[in-house]
Amino acid sequence: MKIDYSHHVLLDKIPIEMIPIIDAKASIRCVPAGSFIHLEDERCDALELIVEGQVHVEPSDRFGKEKIITTYGKGDVVGLNILFSSESVYPMNIISDTQSWIYSLPKSMVIHLLETNNHFCHSFLRILSDNSTQLGRAVKDEFSKTLREKIIDYMDKNAKTDDTSIHFHTSKTNLAKLFGVARTSLSRELQKMRQEGLIEYDRNTIRFR
């Protein structure tokens, strides 16, 4: 698979003469569903763009408790927050929910683009700031929102403007881990919301009535 730079905010303003140079340094790989993309404490030496698919981030837990911290989908960037940190290691596991195509841009090329391309630099800093803001909101939501509020927020965030249906790109088990609850708790709350006439759902979709 070949990446279309025009679909990625970090690379959509790259001069055409730079593309062969970047392609020579970058790489793209296919990761099967359910596979680890990176393990906790693995060194981060590249910026990664999700060309297709969906992945999630979860910590290792020796007690067997599973919790998804966040998810990334097509067009999102992985590793941006830690590439230039003092340790530069992944603090958690990154796992592919679906078959995913991952484009890797080595650190040396990221540095070159930051120094020579204003659009790339500005987009990099904006995404970095957005990620920090989202992390703060996620921590706040974890302690302040009910499961129902988390479900509604998830639907609001992922529904397309012309369609109120959410098509699951991940299992309900992973969705439960994203909300920090047991799968049975999620199923119970979805059933209550359906009984109250708020939503309809099946194994593949969930939608507002």
- The single-letter DSSP state of residue 181 is S
Per the structure, the count of domains in the chain is 2
Residue 169, beta-bridge partner list: none
* Shared domain check, 136 and 80: yes
* Shared domain check, 43 and 107: yes
* Shared domain check, 150 and 200: yes
* Shared domain check, 131 and 184: no
* Shared domain check, 94 and 22: yes
Please check whether residue 95 is in contact with residue 171, taking contact to mean a CB–CB distance below 8 angstroms.
Answer: no
* Shared domain check, 74 and 44: yes
* Shared domain check, 171 and 131: no
Q: Residue range 124-139: average pLDDT?
A: 80
> Which residue, of 115, 143, 171, is where some domain finishes?
143
pLDDT score of 62: 57
> Over the stretch 173-201, which tens digit does the pLDDT of each residue have?
778 877 878 888 888 888 898 888 888 88
Mean pLDDT of the chain: 84
Residue 129: give the domain boundaries: 5-143
